[in-house]
Amino acid sequence: MNFEMTTEQLAMQKMARDYAEKEIVPIAAEYDEKEEMPVDLIRKMVAEGFSSVSVPEEYGGAGMDEVTVCLVTEELGRGCAGIATGIGANSLAMLPIQLAGTEEQKKKYLPDLCNGKLASFCLTEPNAGSDVSSISTTASKDGSDYIINGTKCFITNGTYADYYVVFAIVDPKRGARTLTPFIVEKGAKGLDASRKEKKMGIRASNTAVVVFDNVRVPGENILGNPGGGFRVAMETFDISRPMIASLAVGLSRAAYEAAVKYARERIQFGKPIIQQQAIQFMLADMAMEIEAARSLVLSTAGKIGKGVKNLSAYSAMAKGYAGDMAMRVTVDALQVLGGYGYTREYPLEKYMRDAKIMQIYEGTSQIQRLVIANNIINGRI
Ligand SMILES: Cc1cc2nc3c(=O)[nH]c(=O)nc-3n(C[C@H](O)[C@H](O)[C@H](O)COP(=O)(O)OP(=O)(O)OC[C@H]3O[C@@H](n4cnc5c(N)ncnc54)[C@H](O)[C@@H]3O)c2cc1C
């Protein structure tokens, strides 16, 4: 395993860090407060390549590896976990196209999605969250077309997406074994994504309910083989979970850095609180956990695309560990600021609210443990 970053990786990391500092940090609190996604900035960032770092150059991406994706995502997550989620959701929705799309589909959709168009990954339903096999959205064959009916919920970028990657079952009798991903374009008759969720955190991201009411799509919009959807979804998560884990690392770093700065400046009992061992130990734990999570994330990202059989287990470890770590670190970082941490004058309360989603989306912390445990039981790790 090589832990040395290449010159290109370090350059991308610095570029993302500078960009986040200049464009994201100054507006993060405002959009969190307004509960609004900065659509123009997200589109601009997509067009500038932030969601297509690992998309092959022939389709408009930067053609870099998943380690670079994670380095970039950490910097965006440090800027604002909500805004980084909007960017990450675009990358997430592009994965099924890259994994299962035909050459024609890749050429049709990926360049657009590298160039400022937005996409949503629509898997979750009101009665099918962790349990993907309970999906009830259907796609019934009608001539060479399919008619999609169902409701997807908690869909990131849902309101603003130009393309929706939607998972539906093509044979209700055979259920999830016939799960199939389709591309649905914005403006399709019967598609409604107007209802936004009101959230605790990552409020600068858009989360919507997406309803499909007799939405007609041509058969050529199927990604991969009919019935191959479950596998496509799971392979997508193997790649996207380390990315989300790196977002959690970035968010934790922001909280840690704010706590260190405050601890140096805040005087109580005649000296900076950083001189109190209780504060030092909290900061030391934060530094240790962030570093551990980053190492796990980057070593997992390094396995992607190498044909590693137990990748699912490592991706789940990275996501599960980094998500839980972000919660612990942001709670302690807020504690270092005492009452000020609890006010909206400082960003710590936002970091703590944002951290909670890291244990929920892309598979909850419990589901990550299930994936790891299944790999243990099957002797893969
Ligand atoms: C802000 C936000 C953005 C999201 N973005 C997207 C998106 O873009 N696209 C998309 O498709 N989805 C998205 N999601 C959905 C997200 O992935 C789901 O919320 C998540 O997978 C959990 O599903 P659920 O909410 O239905 O919880 P449930 O599955 O109902 O789980 C409830 C609780 O039970 C636990 N649990 C469930 N089953 C088990 C089990 N077998 N063993 C142990 N514990 C279990 C869970 O861990 C959890 O604690 C998003 C969600 C949010 C909140």
* Averaged pLDDT, 238-247: 98
- Taking only the tens place, the pLDDT of each residue in 246-302 is 999 999 999 999 999 999 999 999 999 999 999 999 999 999 999 999 999 999 999
Region 2-26: what's the mean pLDDT? 95
Indicate if ligand 1 lies below 6 Å from the C-beta of 160. Answer: no
129 lines ligand 1 (CB under 6 A): yes
Distance 130 CA to ligand 1 centre (A): 5
One-character DSSP codes across 202-230: -TTS-EEEEEEEEEEEEGGGB-SSTT-HH
Which of 201, 226, 251 is the last residue before a domain boundary? 226
* Shared domain check, 343 and 251: yes
Q: Are residues 237 and 370 in the same domain?
A: yes
The answer to whether the CB of 160 falls within 8 A of the CB of 206 is yes
Residue 209: per-residue pLDDT: 98
Same domain, 308 and 244: yes
Q: Is the pLDDT of residue 158 over 80?
A: yes
Residue nearest ligand 1's atom 35 by CA: 366
Among residues 23, 125, 349, 362, the one annotated as catalytic is: 362
Residue 2: the pLDDT is: 73
Q: CA–CA separation, 31 vs 281, rounded Å?
A: 33
Tens of pLDDT, residue by residue over 318-338, are: 999 999 999 999 999 999 999
Distance 126 CA to ligand 1 centre (A): 10
Task: Please identify, by atom number, the ligand 1 atom nearest to the C-alpha of residue 365.
Answer: 47
CATH number at residue 367: 1.20.140.10
Nearest CA to ligand 1 atom 24: 129
Say which CATH number the domain at 72 has. 1.10.540.10
Tell me 6's DSSP state: P
Q: Provide the mean pLDDT of the chain.
A: 98
pLDDT digits (tens, 9 = 90+) for 83-112: 999 999 999 999 999 999 999 999 999 999
Domain check: are 370 and 235 in the same one?
yes
Taking 90 as the threshold, does the pLDDT of residue 226 lie above it? yes
pTM exceeding the 0.75 threshold for the entire prediction: yes
User: What does the alpha-carbon distance between residue 253 and residue 67 come to, in Å, rounded to a whole number?
Assistant: 18
Res 1: pLDDT: 67
Tokens 């500038």, residue located: 48
Residue 3 pLDDT: 78
